Structure 1
Amino acid sequence: MVGLGADLDHLNIEEYLPEESIQAEPKKLHLNDFLDISPTLTEAAGAIIDDSFTRCFKSNPPEPWNWNIYLFPLWCLGVMIRYGLLFPLRLAILTAGWIVFFAAFLPVHFLWTGNTKWRCKIERKLVEMMCGVFVASWTGVVKYHGPRPSRRPQQVFVANHTSMIDFIILEQMTAFAVIMQKHPGWVGFIQKTILESVGCIWFNRTEAKDREIVARKLREHTQGADNNPLLIFPEGTCVNNQYTVMFKKGAFELGCAVCPVAIKYNKIFVDAFWNSKKQSFTMHLVRLMTSWAVVCDVWYLEPQYLRDGETPIEFAERIRGMIAARAGLKKVPWDGYLKYFRPSPKLTERKQQKFAESVLHRLEK
């Protein structure tokens, strides 16, 4: 029931009444006849109880286990180890990694005047190394299944999306060129100065012009034999690794092989979901660095092709079903962009009109 209660005060029921019913002598009505809106209330209550859209973007905290006198001291000891020992050690590893990375990357990126092919190869290896340092700073335990991706034309990799660390975990093994939303701050600096060296493409989801530019760049990138494998997160937003929302069709209408990648995190150690509306990426990384470990599985599935008579939307749903089955995710029929945009006013008006018609039906009786 979208926006129904907010605008009922402005709803003029007489607009929906026939003229003769307004002029006729009013009938004696029971209050229950007019106020019996149980179908509407049932719909609203059902939407509140079983809101499968909102549940896709909720982080489920683990159940507390330090509830008695025996377990509480162990919990306190764990907190001291994670924050007093592991976090400073991980921060030192990350800092040292950045120093080494910039000392090698900046001269190669800005001062190299030799063979461009060798420069790109060195930059790719340095980006992979830096992503490996990030994973080490979380004590990441990542198990990869399936053949390692290779650089070939006419292919694109698609994966479910839980956090920006999905890209880091995949990038430490293979230098992907990712399609990513533009970010401000230090993340934006890394995007512009470092990740563009591996062919990444940036966009702003609020700019319609960017969509046309990105679509053109996608087609151009898939044609190059020497380009890094193209990685796309077709959900378009971070989901909590329990559900998977609808895939955008852009990656599935390029006319090339689509290689599904399924990512599943173990929530026993930490919930890797990044709720960008409530937490900055910096604080998200701090939470990972103060956890015990980031444990996950990555499956590289068999390449898939568009079948005869299959539309790009049906192709996207078939790939989404493969990823959901492999990672144990629940499919929901929602567009992830609803997380950023309000529902259409037409949907609200349709609900209001339906409610008014139900009231009129009872008045006629």
Structure 2
Amino acid sequence: MGVMTLTLFPVRLFFAAFMMLLAWPFAFIATVGRSESNVEPQCFWRRVVDVVLRLIMRSMWFAGGFHWIRVKGQRALPDQAPILTLAPHSSYFDAMPVTMTMASIVMKAESKDIPLWGTLIKYIRPVFVSRSDQDSRRKTVEEIKRRAHCQGVWPQIMIFPEGTCTNRSCLITFKPGAFIPAVPVQPVVIRYPNQLDTITWTWQGPGAFKILWLTLCQLHNEFEIEFLPIYTPSDEEAKNPQLFAQNVRRIMAKALQVPVTDYSFEDCQLAMAEGQLRLPVDTSLLEFARLVRRLGLKREISEIEGYSRRARALKGVKQNVEQFSRILEQPLSNVLRDMFALFDEKDEGLMDVREFVIAFSVVCRPTKTLETIKLAFTMYEKTQDGGVTEDELECILHTALGVTALRVSRLFGAIDVAKRGKVTFGKNRGSVEAKLYSLV
């Protein structure tokens, strides 16, 4: 490895960077004066640029050790399958199919402002997602639907429905974005049949540069892409994107000979934090998240706020399972009963809806624990004359953080220096935040 680091790695890195620099002027010329909202007929010189860019990109991958790319099956035409769904997504090397097909992708709007890279990205007409725009998700879905229903005028859209990188040992839950348009899709599976895996890039694995270094130090890297038959949704699947996604995932898993799992990217985030986050009676948050998904509850801020308003209106009055189903606007089902049981600690057929809201907030935003605590205070303060008692604080922190009663008692005593018997997030904000930061 030391010899490769000093010889092969710098040569390959230089050549790959040179290829990207060489591609930039072609991509820039091809995008000058081009409409972002409409697709014009491609003239001769633009077709030449397209071929040149493909050759340059292929040379870049060749320089990285991907000497032969094995292709199985046949890629569908845009009017036959407007959307290509790729899996498993495990590395930034998965960009190879993008450069091979020049299909559009969905990516962050900030990417177009990156020097050099932004110009190359804009060439393939991506669907940009803006983090600063709260309505971005809806706009993105609408744009995907618009392009998907254009009868092949727009380039195909290539989507990795897993939404994150995995280690390729299974297929996690597919996000519904690629399946909402209810148009035929072509499943595409990718493989890296290398003896040594230097490709996989996950949140707990090696960093991006280490992956690049290890891969470029290999004499040869194998890559295989297989285009599966077009999948046309049934009437039921067209109305149910989740069902459509599940069935496509099952076909792709069969082709890959790997299992499927009901876990999603959000569940992975919860698993990372599960040492701190607990539901009552130590029930796993992953189980709660699975039930949330099976009920079809949307993990959105607006939903959290809606549930919290309903919980505040109840003023701490516990609810039975029928009342809980009406609050969630869900039919009474076994899945809903299972969720209800998570919060029915004393097996008395009653639950405090505020505990559900706290857990739901944790599942929706696992990295923003303090926001969940603030939300919990607003729900409990409304019922106790603007304050939270020690018992209520214990319930909040036990649900959100798994904090024991003894630790809560000490925390409450440290915050309630005036010995009022209750604390508020407003009046005791500084003290509360300082103590909570010591827990999270």
* TM-score of the superposed pair, with normalisation by structure 1: 0.65
Matches within 5 A, 1:180-219: 180-181=107-108, 188-190=114-116, 192-203=118-129, 208-219=134-145
Shift of 1:218: 0.2
- SS at the partner of 1:117? coil
Pick the aligned partner of 1:268 from 170, 176, 195. Answer: 195
Tell me which residue corresponds to 1:48: none
Contact 1:270–1:292 (Cα < 8 Å) also in 2: no
1:14-50 deviations in whole A, cap 9, x for unaligned? xxxxxxxxxxxxxxxxxxxxxxxxxxxxxxxxxxxxx
1:63-96 deviations in whole A, cap 9, x for unaligned? xxxxxxxxxxxxxxxx244223321331232133
Cα distance in 2 between the residues matched to 1:221 and 1:281:
32
Change (3 A) 1:332 1:177: same
* TM-score of the superposed pair, with normalisation by structure 2: 0.55
Where structure 1 has 5 or more consecutive residues not aligned to the other structure, the ranges are 1-78, 359-365
Contact 1:105–1:126 (Cα < 8 Å) also in 2: no
Tell me which residue corresponds to 1:134: 60
Cα distance in 1 between the residues matched to 2:113 and 2:164:
17
Cα distance in 2 between the residues matched to 1:109 and 1:153:
26
Tell me which residue corresponds to 1:155: 82
Shift of 1:285: 2.4
Contact 1:153–1:222 (Cα < 8 Å) also in 2: no
- SS at the partner of 1:259? strand
Name the structure, 1 or 2, with higher relative contact order (CA <8 Å, separation 6+).
Answer: 1
Where structure 2 has 5 or more consecutive residues not aligned to the other structure, the ranges are 284-341, 348-440
Contact 2:91–2:200 (Cα < 8 Å) also in 1: yes
1:68-127 deviations in whole A, cap 9, x for unaligned? xxxxxxxxxxx24422332133123213313322343334444899x8723653554344
Contact 2:28–2:119 (Cα < 8 Å) also in 1: no
Matches within 5 A, 1:1-365: 79-110=1-32, 117-118=42-43, 120-140=46-66, 141-152=68-79, 155-160=82-87, 161-166=89-94, 168-181=95-108, 188-190=114-116, 192-203=118-129, 208-224=134-150, 225-276=152-203, 280-310=207-237, 311-340=240-269, 348-349=279-280, 351=282, 357=346
- Amino acid corresponding to residue 287 of structure 1 in structure 2: L
Change (3 A) 1:203 1:96: same
* Greater strand content: 1
**Paired positions, count:** 276
1:174-228 deviations in whole A, cap 9, x for unaligned? 11101134666x9944553221221112325796522111101101221332321
- SS at the partner of 2:135? helix
Shift of 1:283: 4.1
Tell me which residue corresponds to 2:409: none
Change (3 A) 1:305 1:159: same
Shift of 1:356: 5.9
